[in-house]
Structure 1
Amino acid sequence: MTQAPGWPGLGDEALLIAVANTAHADQDEFADTDTLNAWWTGLDAPVATHRGSPASDGSIAMLRTMRGLIRGLALRNNGVEPAPAEFAGLEALPLRLDLRGTPTLLADPAGDLAHDICAAGAAALLRATARAGWSRFKACRGDDCRWVFLDRSRNCSRRWCDMTDCGNRAKIAAYRDRHRSAA
């Protein structure tokens, strides 16, 4: 796993997973500035020391769009064609190429937390999709889950984030459907 430049402690895939898994059930870590800041400071990495300006509502919406893009690509890697989504908000993100050290993308101007995370996510996405292991970056097939994970199985066949929860529910539902149609 390659470390995301400017994001010490978080590799590209770890950053993408952290962003993608910010909404589950009724909890949304990108609901507003306060929840975004709480999520940011709760990260288990030394990057949780952002000193820029607080995120605006528009930049938080852009961050939610980035989350949707990451989840959609991870679903596609797991054989699920996601519903068409609108990613036009990401096109408005002003980026600049930073060639000092490892080439990366930065928000221009830097400082807005949500824009900075989006820029780092875009750069991490470009690097991660170019690597041979990209097909292992998946989202759970559970309709009520969609948790993003790295498939570490030998043959890259994992479909659910957790076999005891999502996988078990899917297998029970398939079993009931088979027996319902047989009866």
Structure 2
Amino acid sequence: MTQEPGWPGLSDEELLVAVANTGHGEHDELADPPAMRVWWAGLHAPTDLEAVRPHATEDLATLRALRAVVRGLALRNNGIDVRVDAAGLDRLTLRPDLRGSPSLLADGPDGLVRDVCAATVTALLRATARPGWPRLKACRGTDCRWVFIDSSRNTSRRWCDMAVCGNRAKSASFRTRRSASEPVA
């Protein structure tokens, strides 16, 4: 996959994976501005964390909607038919960045959340236009759905981790086959 930067230090695909994997179960790294600051600092992405404005709650809702779109598209890339709803993105206003490589900039008040939204949409547009797009997948494990980049030669990977999610799925399939073949007493 092309390593065109979606954000300084991250490829488009790495940024999409990072955004898509910000929420699982009870834990949401985009729940509020302080949580988003911790997540962003963990990526070691060079930027001013103070730019996450305390009142950026509405922007975070847009970023969470964008996360759902990326995860839905990654599920589709793994053969899971899901509805992808982009309705939450209607508040996102972007304009073209005419300074270099094709990208979009947030329109409106400055802030890291808006910048991350713009970088994520840019990464999504560039990634979907490349032949490697189908490699961005979400795990088929129903209790997982972790987004990953399929690095297998023939793009056949289904689970984020064969040792955990793949093993669970294969064990469940074995138990189902075994119980179906046992005679009823």
TM-score, normalised relative to structure 2? 0.91
After superposition, give the CA deviation of every residue in 1:112-171 in whole Å (9 maximum; x if it has no partner).
Answer: 222211111000000000001111111100011111111111111000000000000000
Shift in Å at residue 26 of structure 1? 2.2
Distance 1:163 1:135, change over 3 A: same
Partners in 2 of 1:14 and 1:110 — Cα distance?
26
Cα separation, partners in 2 of 1:51 and 1:111, compared to 1, 3 Å: farther
Instruction: Give the AA of the match of 2:117.
Output: C
**CA RMSD, aligned part only?**
1.5
The answer to whether the 8 A contact 2:12-2:124 is kept is: yes
Residue 138 of structure 1 corresponds to which residue in structure 2?
137
Offset of residue 53 of structure 1: 4.8
CA apart distance, 1:92: 1.8
Distance 1:101 1:50, change over 3 A: farther
CA distance in 2, matches of 1:2, 1:153: 18
The percentage of aligned residue pairs carrying the same residue is 54
Deviation at 1:60, TM superposition (A): 0.9
Q: Which residue of 2 aligns with 1:76?
A: 76
CA positional deviation for 1:99? 1.0
The corresponding residue for 2:20 is 20
1:4 aligns with 2:5: yes
**Corresponding residue of 1:31:** 31
Unpaired runs of 5+ in structure 1? none
Alpha-carbon distance change, 75 to 43 in structure 1, aligned in 2, over 3 angstroms: same
Residue type at the aligned position of 2:153: R
SS class of match (1:179): helix
1:178 aligns with 2:177: yes
Question: Which whole-Å CA distance do the structure 1 matches of 2:52 and 2:148 have between them?
Answer: 31
| Alpha carbons 1:53, 1:113 under 8 Å: kept | yes
The 5-angstrom pairing of residues 93-132 of structure 1 reads: 93-109=92-108, 111-132=110-131
- 8 Å CA contact 1:42–1:48 kept in 2: the answer is no
How far apart are the structure 2 equivalents of 1:160 and 1:48? 33
Deviations 1:44-96 (A, max 9, x none): 33x343453515221111111111100111111111112x2432121220101
Matching of residue 164 in structure 1 with residue 154 in structure 2: no
Distance 2:88 2:138 in 1: 22
The SS at the match of 2:132 is: helix
Q: Give the conservation status (yes or no) of the 8 Å contact 1:21–1:147.
A: yes
Which residue is equivalent to 1:60? Answer: 60
Q: TM-score, normalised by structure 1?
A: 0.92
Which structure 2 segments of 5+ residues have no match?
Answer: none
State the 1:104 CA deviation.
0.7
Look at both structures and tell me which one has the larger radius of gyration over its CA atoms. Answer: 2
In 1: Cα distance, 2:102 partner to 2:49 partner: 21
Who is 1:87 aligned against?
86
Please say if residues 37 and 52 of structure 2, whose CA atoms lie closer than 8 Å, have aligned partners that are also in contact. no
